[in-house]
Amino acid sequence: MDIHYIHIVIEKYLQGTATKAEIEVVDRWLTLLDNEQNWTSISAEKLDSVEKEIWSKLNVSIRAEQNLTSTAQQKVELKPTTKLVSIKLFIKVAAVFLIVVATYFIYTFITKPFSNFDKHIQTLVINGWKSKQNNSKNNDSVVLEDGTEIILTPQAIVYYPTHFESDKREVRLKGTAFFSVAKDKYRPFFVFSKSIVTRVLGTSFWVKDEEKETASQVAVKSGAVAVFVNNSEDKIATTTVKGVLLKPNEKAVFYRKEERFATEIIDNPEPVIADSVDGIKGYQGAPIQYQFSDTKLIEITKGLQLEYGITIILENEELGNLTFTGDISGFSYFDKIKIICKSLRINYEIKENRLLIKK
């Protein structure tokens, strides 16, 4: 809808220089306004839906008027004695302008700046891309044409094409979502969010890129994921900030202000899923037993590394010879580590995506 056109029509109406067709259009707007609720009492949360409703109602009228003004230039001369703009009429016209135009600019451009990322999404939607927004209080999901499943957290929205291109698969994300990407070694899958770009072939991972937060995150459950900075053109940025490669149970945190990545262990590591892609092999075979009797620490850490894919470094060889007795089955990864360390009176420290056991 042409906002500039709306402004011109209202201005001409108030000045008495509008065409007959333009007068009819504004009169219809006033009728619509009279039929609506009390605008002064409407909540800020409803402004966006109200705006869409008004645009929908005025769409036919405005398009018809634009066609008329392109073929007819006859103006209606209004005598001051027969057509005076009253205070009441002025308020009504101003209300139309404020609700339809001012709200659009203030709400969209001040409270929600229209970034290049948003502009690109708008272009994609115009070109036929679909969208799925989770307006509920629970997680919701959407399955794409290739079998990829996306679980959207509340308020998250994903944009995707009806059909992917022959050499790649791309989606756009606002908010937080979990991706279970269908394997396709010939077509990498890209998730573009406002700050970062995530590239995979087939895997499962979380992307969290909330506008209100200072950092963006990608956390990997299975497979391998490459994460890059998203530049102003909605593409992988060529900057001094290098991308990071993530393995299962790792996450990348991108701090926007400092423009840097930090690779960390996820909060709740889980056993690595077998047959992960991109050369990262998960644990296969019978479950590892966590019932130990005088078992050397070096052997225990090897089993943990195999099952969780997290590198464990022993500060010295002497630590590896310490023995542990106990049953830690059923505990979470970090609880297992804590129980072992407390029993052996040693400590551990997380250093980026690795775990260091020390005295």
pLDDT number for residue 185: 86
Q: For the ranges 11-25, 116-130, 217-231, 237-251, which has the lowest average pLDDT?
A: 11-25
Q: Where along the chain do its domains lie?
A: 3-111, 119-265, 291-358
Q: What is the pLDDT of residues 201-231, one digit of tens each?
A: 888 999 999 988 889 999 999 888 999 998 7
Give residue 104's pLDDT band: very low, low, confident or very high (50, 70, 90): very low
Question: What is the token pair recorded at 337?
Answer: 């580590």
Best CA proximity match to 270, nearest among 308, 320, 306: 308
* Pair 344, 301: CB distance under 8 Å: no
The answer for residues whose C-beta is within 8 angstroms of residue 297's C-beta and 6 or more apart is 314, 319, 320, 321, 322, 323, 324, 340, 344, 357
Give residue 116's pLDDT band: very low, low, confident or very high (50, 70, 90): confident
CATH topology of domain 291-358: Phage tail protein beta-alpha-beta fold (3.55.50)
CATH topology of domain 119-265: Jelly Rolls (2.60.120)
State yes or no: pLDDT of 264 exceeds 50: yes
The answer for residues whose C-beta is within 8 angstroms of residue 31's C-beta and 6 or more apart is none
Give residue 82's pLDDT band: very low, low, confident or very high (50, 70, 90): very low
State yes or no: pLDDT of 105 exceeds 80: no
* Pair 30, 36: CB distance under 8 Å: no
Q: What is the pLDDT of residues 273-311, one digit of tens each?
A: 654 444 444 455 556 789 999 999 999 999 999 889 999
- Mean pLDDT across the chain, nearest whole number? 77
Q: What is the pLDDT of residues 150-191, one digit of tens each?
A: 999 999 999 999 999 999 999 999 999 999 999 998 999 999
Q: If you ran DSSP here, which 8-state letter would residue 166 be given? A: S
